[in-house]
Structure 1
Amino acid sequence: FALKPTRGPGVEESEPFRLFNLDVFEYLHDSPFGIYGSIPFMVSHGKSGQSSGFFWLNAAEMQIDVLAKGWDAEGGILMPTEQSRIDTFWMSEAGIVDTFFFVGPGPKDVVKQYVSVTGLPAMPQLFSTGYHQCRWNYRDEEDVENVDSKFDEHDIPYDVLWLDIEHTDGKRYFTWDKMLFPHPEEMQRKLAAKGRHMVTIVDPHIKRDESFHLHKDASQRGYYVKDATGKDYDGWCWPGSSSYPDMLNPEIRSWWAEKFSYDNYVGSTPSLYIWNDMNEPSVFNGPEVTMPRDALHLGGVEHRELHNAYGYYFHMATAEGLLKREDGKDRPFVLSRAFFAGSQRYGAVWTGDNSADWDQLRVSVPMVLTLGLTGMTFSGADVGGFFGNPEPELLVRWYQLGAYYPFFRGHAHHDTKRREPWLFGERNTALMRDAIRIRYTLLPYFYTLFREANVSGVPVVRPLWMEFPSDEAAFSNDEAFMVGNSLLVQGIYTARAKHASVYLPGKESWYDLRTGTAYKGGKVHKLEVSEESIPAFQRAGTIVPRKDRFRRSSTQMVHDPYTLVIALNSSQAAEGELYVDDGKSYDFKHGAYIHRRFVFSNGHLTSSPVGNSRFLSDCIIERVILLGFTPGAKTALVEPGNQKAEIELGPLRFGGQHAAVAVTIRKPGVRVAEDWKIKIL
């Protein structure tokens, strides 16, 4: 997870780390070269448990050398060697540089300080935190309807179906191929009837076709990036000859945003959202497959000075378009491939065009963790790998891991075999169904974490050392990660694995999510693993909210009851939170939310409000599961009302396995939005 030294004694010198946004074909999993996004932010963390941060605000190409202890500078100065230290050397090609130092002292403090400069992550709509099904490309409306119905046939929940570039009329964005997608609004309404949504792709390259209204308008207004001679820059991308809007110009961003109105984007509906790809920008015949550095933007600014921010501005303009489309009422959803510092304000990102191999599965974890540390809390990797055909075992393991990514999407290249979850035999279908259902079971917890990220910048998924900053054994662990402060997940990164070594940090116990078995913290456990799951644990002292009824989509789960899973620590205590709002609008900014704090102590479970909320919900707590609680008590007293609830050994019910049992308070009859207390008698 830590940056490897690039120069110094005993170090085989390599290229410096390069920050330069590029469209990279099948990027290498262990390379210092630039790929799709760049965030010039560095975090330092040491044995003291303290952290600091450094932000180099510059959007030109930059290179960073990581200098090992004792590095001999070109000037002949030997760096101090009396203490262990790492020095870094930052270089930018052009432009203005602002630098920021963040003093922590903890890792979460550093992230909070960083987002106070670059902006807080956007609060996503609830549907976007579920599972997304994508492919380049679903052929036509019949294909879309068939894929949608197959999810129902196989009892697999999902929320979003995506259309890649082939859905357009000749790669003209904001259009539909009338032969393949003659009734786009009806297609979207059929999905919406099941609580589902659609995402279409909109890239920055505009086809240079005088009959295309978007090109004609942009050309007449002078809205394109210019070449070094002052003419409209003409590059080659999916449509062929293309030009690119100058997103540095606020006027042009406003013009772009208007294109997402229902009048301009004919065939779009309120359930349609957007995917920004190729926005590095990608130019097939350009230097390094991007725009020339001497291309000109607003005010004669050369492209070299702001290259890494082009995708950021494009993401911004698209998000603004969806916001305007709904008169500012509903939250946008926009996925972007390119990003820069501050992109977290506008939506999600992903790790780009990965490959179907075990190394890429493994590297997805440090990639997503790194993005989280830089404010990009809504990120993920293409499940299964974009390029290539994953063997069934790899695909299953990727679903099992991807269910814990903040952004959970399956995606594939058009040259690959179809890989929807039901195409690999009944057993593998069951395993992938189980993995996706785990995500839906945990949606209340994930949504609560997204709200935490929205107000603080603290990431949804975290390196172990963020939660255990003084535990040196956690510093180098980039195979396991925390989901919030409560769950620890360990991926399986090799074929036919029978065992996994899992380090569980801290001094308290950890409970297996499926079996409820307790494991001691502060040590490595060698565990048997099966094809059915990857190791995942709940931290003692935490309370995790769940929803255990399976529906077609997250939208259809809104009124379902909750389960609280209480993992008791050595003091027989635990605490946790739940955040609920309408899952769609900005009303939460005006108090329309539920935020509850749950505390279990001395045999009492209490629910109390956090903040002044004004959101109504009839949802109840259906079950309270107690891990680490000694069976014996038969009854609990619920207040107010002085009602009694039964205590029994009930099923743990996590994923597809129901064999494990745990102490359970059944049907306490309390509402999630109200104050109450449950006392075990």
Structure 2
Amino acid sequence: MIYKFIFGKPFETESVVNLPSDTQIFTDDLKQFPAGKISLESGFELSIPLADDDMIFGLGEAMGGINKRGRIYRSWCNDDPSHTEEKESLYGAHNFLVIYSPSSHKCFGLYADYPGNLVIDAGCTKKDVLSLSCGQADIVLYYIEEKNGGIKDVVSAFRNIIGTSYIPPYWAFGYMQSRWGYGSQKDVEDVFDNYRALDIPLDAIFLDIDYMDEFRDFTVDSQKIPDLKKTVSALKENGVHLVPIIDAGVKSDEGYSVDEEGIKENMFCRKKDGSLFRAAVWPGLAHFPDFLNPDVRKWFGNQYSVLLDCGIDGFWNDMNEPALFYSEDGIKRAADTLTELAKKADRNDSIISWSMKDTVLGVQNSIEDYKSFYHRVPASLCGNFSDSEKDGTAIVRHDKVHNLYGFNMTRAAAEYFSSNCEKPVFLISRASFIGMHRYGGIWTGDNCSWWSHILLCLKMLPSLNMCGFLYTGCDLGGFSCNTTRELLLRFLALGVFTPLMRNHSALGTRAQEVYAFENPEDFRAIIQLRYRLLPYLYNEYVKACRNGTMYFRPLAFDYPDDRIALSTEDQLMLGEELMIAPVYVPNATGRTVYLPEDMYCVRCRKENGGCAGGAPEQVLYKKGVHFIFCAADEVVFFIKKNCAVPVVLPARNSSEIDYSTLSWWGDSSAFGKYKMISR
């Protein structure tokens, strides 16, 4: 059952699109809310009492565990490349959570539909209170309960009201290679040649900002790539796709047609006085398209045609929180502050040095900058969020609706593709809000080459699935810092199972392509395993999208009566048949695994050990705790007893997979019983 509680006059985010006819709707009713107490005295605050054993799941892309209890989270799309333990917000804003009581088996879901800064205190300040608060008392709360249903039923009910998740083209489930620094035809050819020479499967090569002409969106540096159409065609003939980046900021540059047209047609965000807002990102000072305006979305979506006409059929949208390196006003504010601090430099005051540091660092992604520009939005959507209205258009300050920016950039592209492209187009975004899951996938941003970030990725996966984001994955190997051979192997062993399997790294770090390490055949075997499992992984992904279920689930969702499963935070269920338990510490010979029921341990090795061909080692283990050996060049996963999964022989890319080679792994009594869906 869905209950919708409307307070004040909220902004219509368009995240909820399929409310059932029996939804109960309440307006400004503080007494009818079924859980906790609501206060409107200072903005909005909801306080929900927590029992000692209550668990909190969800919140999408966030730090912390699968059980989110005990931390503070801030829903604010944030360009922060350092994903350390104390961080309250990352790139996405995903305000859906489920509270589950193991003792009573009762659970309910809560979605706070609010486009700005929302704080979720999940039993941190007070261990027995969950609180949600925001500065404006104009918000929609959705309360979801399924009587006699479990956590999965509540999640499915939510997924149904927010719409079907994005299904990318089949090739998007292949292995992908990316690096900040690829920018020339030679870079692309070198990557392709090295993968092909070593017979390592590859479906896509990504281009970061270096392919552009001086970082101008929708341009190509002809000195680096003389004939993009020819380059794309040559790759496609070999089953490989080229995926360029598009950033949110449009370079402010006389003679640059996109910028000049955007100014002429009033497509960019402006300040309160009507002047154009500018801030610096990679191209230097840039203008920012007003993506919350439908006309701007249509205009910006049309810009992709320049690259689509060259045969490009995949994009990644970046820097769309939006990231702001600095603004001209911000530099002036910082300079004024530093001047005043300099006058106090002769004092014996250590606080001055900290203030100077904070002033300089505070120039980037400054809240003052986010408060300084505005959107033109249909007045019918705005509620109490508008500063002014005229002729059906409202003027809305950006910080009030900040979390919708990246969502609507990706929506702009997806809507254009849907209307103008015959085949599905690959599309992922860095920033997101619930609702964007209908238009594209996400990657989890600039992680690091840290062992802890394997586990962080694993914990984010089911939380993102709860919020509709099924097509997701992390930068395998880590984006920042220098990876190691062992670390990359372990990252890839998780990446075998994530829908997005992309190796991506930063400029200035060591080469992270798998052929840059000794014994590349070990990497080849793990990537080949991905292609062997592709029929099953793709099938389970599409089923989850169509049915509003989860591709990845915590063990707690499937085994809510099992106390060990409830507390297991480093294993996941995948589809209806598999469980994964990756190794995420260095120099390990294996790891302890909890089996919530009898399962086959499937051990895949190179050569004829299951990765490149042949059959893996399969051993049936009883329910319980086991130490499972797993070398760095192996992948181990688990198939439930009485279940089997389809596999094929590996191929150089997804287009060459031969379904006539289909066979089965798992319980022989279940061979052939798994239902495949048509692609």
Using structure 1 for the length normalisation, give the TM-score: 0.77
Residue 188 of structure 1, aligned match among 208, 212, 232 = 232
Cα distance in 2 for partners of 1:179, 1:378 equals 35
Residue 33 of structure 1, aligned match among 88, 108, 116 = 88
Segments of structure 2 that go 5 or more residues without pairing to the other structure are: 1-54, 59-68, 328-362, 377-393, 605-615
Give the aligned partner of residue 523 of structure 1. 624
Residue 277 of structure 1, aligned match among 306, 312, 318 = 318
Displacement of 1:22 after TM fit? Answer: 1.0
Residue 198 of structure 2, aligned match among 150, 154, 173 = 154
**1:319/1:346 contact within 8 Å kept:** yes
Q: Which runs of 4 or more aligned residues in structure 1 lie more than 4 Å from their structure 2 counterparts after TM superposition?
A: 1-4, 68-71, 572-575
Which secondary structure state, in structure 2, belongs to the residue aligned with residue 414 of structure 1?
A: coil
Displacement of 1:96 after TM fit? Answer: 3.0
TM alignment of 1:53-202, pairs within 5 A: 53-67=109-123, 86-94=128-136, 96-104=138-146, 105-202=149-246
Displacement of 1:561 after TM fit? Answer: 2.9
Residue 436 of structure 1, aligned match among 504, 527, 534 = 527
Q: Which amino acid aligns with 1:349?
A: I
Cα distance in 1 for partners of 2:262, 2:300 equals 9
Cα distance in 2 for partners of 1:383, 1:280 equals 22
**1:543/1:577 contact within 8 Å kept:** no
Greater relative CO (CA pairs within 8 A, separation 6+): 2
Give the aligned partner of residue 656 of structure 2. 556
Q: Which amino acid aligns with 1:317?
A: A
- Tell me the alpha carbon deviations over residues 38-62 of structure 1, each in whole angstroms, 9 at most, x when there is no partner: 1000112332555421100001011
CA distance change for structure 1 residues 3 and 457 in 2, over 3 Å: closer, same or farther? Answer: closer
**2:443/2:475 contact within 8 Å kept:** yes
Question: Matched residues, percent identical?
Answer: 27
Cα distance in 1 for partners of 2:635, 2:662 equals 24
**2:57/2:98 contact within 8 Å kept:** no
Deviation larger for 403-412 or 473-482:
473-482
Give the aligned partner of residue 479 of structure 1. 570
Q: Which amino acid aligns with 1:174?
A: F
Compute the RMSD of aligned alpha carbons.
2.3
Cα distance in 1 for partners of 2:502, 2:571 equals 20
Give the aligned partner of residue 447 of structure 1. 538
Higher share of residues assigned helix: 2
Displacement of 1:69 after TM fit? Answer: 11
Question: What is the number of residues matched between the two proteins?
Answer: 547
Cα distance in 1 for partners of 2:586, 2:125 equals 38
Which secondary structure state, in structure 1, belongs to the residue aligned with residue 638 of structure 2?
A: strand
CA distance change for structure 1 residues 445 and 70 in 2, over 3 Å: closer, same or farther? Answer: same
**1:465/1:474 contact within 8 Å kept:** yes
- Tell me the alpha carbon deviations over residues 179-212 of structure 1, each in whole angstroms, 9 at most, x when there is no partner: 0011111110111001221100111100011200
Q: Which amino acid aligns with 1:325?
A: N
Cα distance in 2 for partners of 1:186, 1:96 equals 52
TM alignment of 1:33-432, pairs within 5 A: 33-47=88-102, 48-67=104-123, 86-94=128-136, 96-104=138-146, 105-261=149-305, 265=306, 268-285=309-326, 289=365, 291-298=369-376, 299-326=394-421, 329-426=422-519, 429-432=520-523
Q: Which amino acid aligns with 1:530?
A: A
**1:196/1:553 contact within 8 Å kept:** yes
Q: Which amino acid aligns with 1:110?
A: V
- Tell me the alpha carbon deviations over residues 295-343 of structure 1, each in whole angstroms, 9 at most, x when there is no partner: 21111111122101111001111112222331xx322211100000111
**1:136/1:164 contact within 8 Å kept:** yes
Which secondary structure state, in structure 2, belongs to the residue aligned with residue 485 of structure 1?
A: coil
**2:544/2:550 contact within 8 Å kept:** yes
Cα distance in 2 for partners of 1:228, 1:478 equals 48
Residue 676 of structure 2, aligned match among 556, 572, 578 = 578
Cα distance in 1 for partners of 2:282, 2:529 equals 37
- Tell me the alpha carbon deviations over residues 560-616 of structure 1, each in whole angstroms, 9 at most, x when there is no partner: 4311334258xx8994221222xxxxxxxxxxxxxxxxxxxxxxxxxxxxxxxxxxx
Which secondary structure state, in structure 2, belongs to the residue aligned with residue 445 of structure 1?
A: helix
Cα distance in 2 for partners of 1:164, 1:490 equals 32
Using structure 2 for the length normalisation, give the TM-score: 0.77
Segments of structure 1 that go 5 or more residues without pairing to the other structure are: 5-12, 72-85, 582-681
Displacement of 1:344 after TM fit? Answer: 1.1
Cα distance in 2 for partners of 1:124, 1:470 equals 36
Cα distance in 2 for partners of 1:354, 1:27 equals 6
